[in-house]
Amino acid sequence: MPKRFALLVVLLVPLLVLAGCQRSAQDAGGETPAATSPPPAEVVAGEDSERLWQGVLPCSDCLGIDTRLQLRQAAGRRTYALHEVYLGGRGVNAFDQTGDWLERTVAIDGASAEVIVLDPRGRAQSFWLHDDGSLELLDTEGHPQAHGEALRLQRMAP
């Protein structure tokens, strides 16, 4: 039971922290400048690939969450590894999560967008794949959050 509780805490804390940092889109005030990362590599269905993103996401009770997300596609299976370190925190501050992922096309701000969904059959966590290759963490309903640029992970070479 303690392991299950710890897993639940690990999954819920990042979502609650980010929800606490969220403001309404009306408060965003202005457009975000385009990031300058390499464009995303084309992933062909059935072809083995590995993609990697990294960045520091905001945190309401720590200095930030150093986040590293690795997506793999091998032998027809899509898996991910998410490593998060809560900076400046006390006690256990590093968390690892693995599972399945999928990519789907949705409408965001009236335009077609690719979204990466971690654990689609469980408590899904979604990221918007931007044209510049960055991933933006979406809210629990799959919508962009105010100050979305602060919630972006940058594409890295695997």
Assigned architecture for domain 2-23+40-156: Beta Barrel (2.40)
Whether 65 contacts 86, CB under 8 Å: yes
Residue 75 burial (C-beta neighbours within 10 Å; 0-12, 13-18, 19+):
exposed
- The model carries a pTM of 0.69
Please give the helix or strand (H or E) that residue 38 lies within, else none: none
Interval 72-121: pLDDT, tens: 999 999 999 999 999 997 778 999 999 999 999 999 989 999 999 999 88
**Domain limits, the chain:** 2-23+40-156
